[in-house]
Structure 1
């Protein structure tokens, strides 16, 4: 009972019902006031026309034919004092008009109160029905949200209603469920892929220790097994560092400062080791952005590492910054289908299946780039280059870049 009293439907019913009852009561009060002011004059005119004068009364009592009743006329200006018969006729007319007016107003008030009571009951019922109709979509949204869990995120409201605020609310809720389902699926894939990626090197290490070092192996074999274990350990360390970096970038920025992105890109490019024969094209215009220097360094480093790893002999790498806040890294390489590009930005996603060979990445590079870009409010756009050059072009647009130092000016 308390829940019913505190429900939104009850509040809306009280509000709508009160407004309707007030409107009905105001209308009835207005009608009564207007009639009270005009009713006496109307009744008096009608009674004066219908009530016969004294001569007509005598004619009626004596059975004589009487002339038609005529309205009483006011005394002409300067006329003598009214006669006794005229005063009696005026008194009868006034008393009759007053009595008719009182009876009419009493009857009108009684009927009005009865009509107001019926109208109030109908108004409350109508308000309750209207409130239920208005809040029905909210109830559907509430029940859907109550049923949802990790196992049935595929359910949607799909509200069938005309365009309006509640329809937009339901559609927004459905869109939110789509995003939640996508995030949950990505989280599950991430956990499964991370477990797989971490389990594989552990299995290699165990096999190398149990099989390669079984018995009394010669020193040469021990050296090979040692190098193998060190390589696997390095790969596992790189994977763990990448996972930690991805987790840190997903948490957002703890601090931000102006960063000369053009100089940072130049330094990372100098540290990169492209294959012999790969052409490097620079177009580094002054660009200063606000962000975390370490994370931005990882962003540029991963972009360049991806461009170097997935290039081809005699290929090309292009690194560019522009004053309007855009960082671009483009490379030649294998031809990528445009529909596969968004998938490459997800963790542990590669263009081809992993072979667990030396120098092969874990499939986290571009996902880390996307995460760092989100943390800095940058918009990332990845486009597959058409054949025959192939490869990928990644463009990052940072918000409101700060003006960088001008060539030849102070600090140049």
Structure 2
């Protein structure tokens, strides 16, 4: 025994009970219809007994020619001639037939009426149950939208705001709204703390950089002092880039409210054109028009981080990267593909977590592990998404999808190609 619970269905057992497979609306409809059918059957049975008791009993003829079972005003048997026995038998048969036909008609027609009323009742019960469950559907839809929002804390500003009587469903909705409000305040406070702390740390780091630069440029500075100052400047620069990354991450986790039309193809071309300081890897461009709307600065940072990540995690020699933009399925796409080490599919999600990198719990000296975290945050702030897939032979294919901006959409796609021999320099860690 390893302590693991076997949750599979035991042999010989069938599916779970029907009540566990029916929706709440279906169960309420069954309850409504079942109760009405039961009440109708009881009413029909009581009516049958009462009618049976009120129906007159048929008279019975004796061999002597007298009728028994029917009494006159005096309550004694009434004597009739013996030659009318056959007529009496005929009357008795007619009375019995009429009684049986009346009771049979009562059961048949009552059953048909009960069946029709039950069908109407089940239909009405289905509609009434759906009407009664509408507030629950509203709560479920709100919870689904919040759970499906990209980014931590995004979507928590939404409220149910259910109107109606102060019943149990209204109490549930109000409690859910209260929980959302507290979570929203908590996430907002966390983002504000990161932003404020980052802003407060920028000033002393800038002062430290100025003092170190002044110390290493003095004419009487010793070689040891200059070497120490240069090392401290490197450390101070890393800290400044870390603070800048934290600020960008905090800002990009908020939804972008003011958006302007931009073309991802132009942004990608601009980012690639700026990277011309030295050879590193071959770059392939396939830039078709990709019109979207958003913050151009954040979208440029998104593209820059993808390119820098593709360069940093590439092969030492003979590597390449490809940048592609275009439209597909009513969305615009930015795809960055690179060569590099082989990546397992289950490890791709790790690279999107802050301060973490592939096959490492912590980052090393080449970066801080914020690049792709910022990419995902920026994409989420623009109602987009980002995904990474391992490339056959090593490397990654990172794809960003964003909504199409109809104002910039054109029927013809423009493409800009660059020779495969173009080189991109090593990107600086952010």
Question: TM-score w.r.t. structure 2 length?
Answer: 0.48
**Quick check: which has more Rg, 1 or 2?**
1
Q: Which protein has the bigger strand share?
A: 2
Question: TM-score w.r.t. structure 1 length?
Answer: 0.50
